[in-house]
A = this chain, B = another copy of it.
Amino acid sequence: SLSISSSVMAKSKFEYVRNFEADDTCLRNCYIVVRLDGRNFHKFAEQHKFIKPNDNRALGLLTRSAVSVMEELEDIVIAYGQSDEFSFVFKRTTNWFKRRASKLMTHVASQFSSSYVFYWKEFFGDQPLLYPPGFDGRVVLYPTNRNLRDYLSWRQADCHINNLYNTVFWTLVQRGGLTTAQAEERLKVKDSNTHRSKHDETVTKRMKLPNEEEKDVNVTRSRKRVQAYHCDIIGEQFWEEHPGILEDDS
């Protein structure tokens, strides 16, 4: 039962705590990339019986959530996703949230996560979502077009590697009759004197991915419409066909 005037006085006494907020404005004229990663999605995929190696429902839901983010945040010019991660690229000159890193990444993480639950039924039908999933995010700045393209190429090259590995792995399990432990062992290089395990290239070198396999996605705008593609973004062709994404470097 406080009166307004005493509350206003109380509030003004405490208000100094606002000055503890730090300014995290992103450097101007750099591309702002927000990348999200699923929390414990290995377990999440198992519990929700994702099809191996690639579950089109899961990729569809991931893409739908990214589209939802892009509809909300109009200065995102391209987004790229695979597995349980998605990267969103804000244009160099964006002034959304005054370029405050914390606002940008939390809004993206929040909109993506609420959309993921909201659209679940559209992709998984009657199969229930068992619990609300979590994603974490980060912000990275890229000063030039080359740096940005190399970032996206890095993510897609990573996708190719994971995908090729997973395809072989699940082929060994599903058609070769190996246990998952045996398949993992089979794909390890014997001589492991390095910390990172290497894959058995004699197996994987001959593998080709079926062309029709959809395993990653990038989302762009075209005349204000948001669209999803499955295509190579490492080479020149995509960038020549989408001249509106990159801004002039100088």
Contact = CB atoms under 8 A, between A and B. Distances in A.
A208 B3 CA distance: 7
A141 B27 CA distance: 8
Given A8-B161, A109-B110, A205 B3 contact: yes
Contact of A106 (B21, B135, B160): B135
How many copies of the chain does the oligomer comprise?
Answer: 4
A176 B119 CA distance: 42
A132 interface: yes
A189 to B, nearest CB: 12
Interface residues of A, number: 87
Interface of A is mostly: helix
A29 B201 contact: no
A35 B8 CA distance: 21
Contact of A164 (B4, B30, B143, B207): B4
Contact of A110 (B136, B141, B205): B136
B107 A105 contact: no
B114 A133 contact: yes
